[in-house]
């Protein structure tokens, strides 16, 4: 099937179009796809539930586990959760190696993940300095975890540096979808704890208008995570996994693509608004 074409309409004119590739898997097999199901992309923040998995061994509060998986919007309740996780490990904001957003490392949308990394360093007895670097024991453990989850040798997985300074991994959409199908089923071991935290606190994982939060709120029991450059993955309670990538990286198109693939009408067609909040068009998958 052809890739999904997401049209941005302003007034009567289609102003822009975005192509989205997507795949649906069940029981490890591809059951439906749009575009190229073997398209390889960096997972970006979609990896956060797996990067948070080692935290499941430490009996942390669910809201702290959720914020470790988050691409947050620096809302007050999200920053409270990041601070709590930082303090639990005995660290402060200046120990975060994610860089700053709006003048603060705490406000970086990956600060929860980094707070979780610092906690793991303290819990495992590792030196926290440079925890973000590929050669650090933490990052070596996480690479092995990714490789084991997708069933490939670690040396075969292409890597780069994510926006927050840590390694990111290149996987095919089919591999991503299988990974999230496993998450929904509690695989790897301990993932049920991470999924319960995310689905119990979807507003911490993203934000009021974040695609992953909206998917989890629309589909009870589903676990969803968005990533930069238009990546979104979902694991459904029936064992289905879905992964999509907007070809040009436009995040706004991921809502409509996800809505079309998952059958969520309020995402499949979303209003295009002016800075005043007035509806001036729409964003939707073309028939």
pLDDT in tens, 187-199: 999 999 999 999 9
Indicate the SS3 state at residue 140. Answer: helix
pLDDT one-digit tens code per residue, 234-246: 999 999 999 999 9
Please give the structure tokens belonging to residue 42.
Answer: 């960096």
Whole-prediction pTM: 0.96
pLDDT, residue 1, reads: 81
Cα–Cα dist 285/111, whole Å: 33
Alpha-carbon torsion 209, 171, 163, 112, what sign? Answer: positive
Confidence check: pLDDT of 229 > 90: yes
DSSP 2: P
- Alpha helices (H) along the chain: 48-52, 62-68, 76-88, 111-124, 137-150, 173-184, 191-200, 202-205, 211-218, 251-262, 265-268
Q: Express each pLDDT in 80-112 by its tens digit.
A: 999 999 999 999 999 999 999 999 999 999 999
With a pLDDT cut of 70, the percent of the chain lying above it is 100
> Sorting pLDDT into bands at 50, 70 and 90, what band is 287?
confident
Structural domains of the chain sorted by starting position, each given as residue range(s) with its CATH number in brackets: 4-285 (3.40.710)
How many angstroms separate the CA atoms of 216 and 238, rounded? 14
125's CB contacts (< 8 A; 6+ apart) are none
Whether the pLDDT of residue 168 is over 90: the answer is yes
């Amino acid at each position: 099937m052809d890739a999904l074409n997401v049209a941005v309409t302003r007034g009567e004119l289609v102003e822009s179009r975005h192509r989205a590739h997507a795949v649906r898997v069940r029981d490890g097999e591809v059951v439906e796809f749009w575009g190229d199901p073997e398209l390889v992309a960096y997972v970006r923040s979609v990896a956060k539930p797996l990067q948070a998995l080692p935290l499941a061994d430490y009996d942390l509060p669910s809201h702290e586990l959720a914020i470790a998986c988050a691409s947050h919007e620096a809302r007050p309740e999200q920053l409270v959760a990041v601070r709590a996780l930082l303090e639990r490990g005995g660290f402060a904001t200046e120990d975060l190696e994610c860089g700053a957003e709006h003048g603060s490392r705490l406000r970086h949308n990956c600060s929860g993940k980094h707070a979780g990394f610092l906690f793991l360093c303290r819990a495992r007895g590792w030196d926290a300095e440079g925890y973000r670097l590929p050669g650090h024991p933490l990052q070596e453990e996480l690479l092995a975890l990714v490789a084991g989850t997708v069933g490939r040798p670690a040396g075969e997985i292409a890597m780069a540096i994510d926006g927050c300074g840590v390694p990111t991994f290149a996987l095919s959409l089919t591999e991503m979808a299988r990974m999230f199908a496993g998450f929904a089923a509690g695989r790897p071991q301990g993932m049920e704890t991470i999924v319960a935290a995310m689905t119990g606190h979807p507003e911490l994982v993203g934000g009021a208008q974040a695609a992953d939060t909206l998917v989890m709120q629309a589909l009870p029991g589903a676990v969803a995570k968005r990533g930069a450059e238009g990546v979104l993955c979902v694991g459904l309670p029936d064992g289905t996994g879905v992964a999509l990538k907007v070809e040009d990286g436009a995040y706004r198109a991921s809502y409509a693509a996800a809505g079309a693939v998952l059958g969520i009408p309020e995402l499949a067609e979303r209003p295009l608004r002016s800075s005043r909040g007035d509806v001036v068009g729409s964003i939707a998958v073309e028939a």
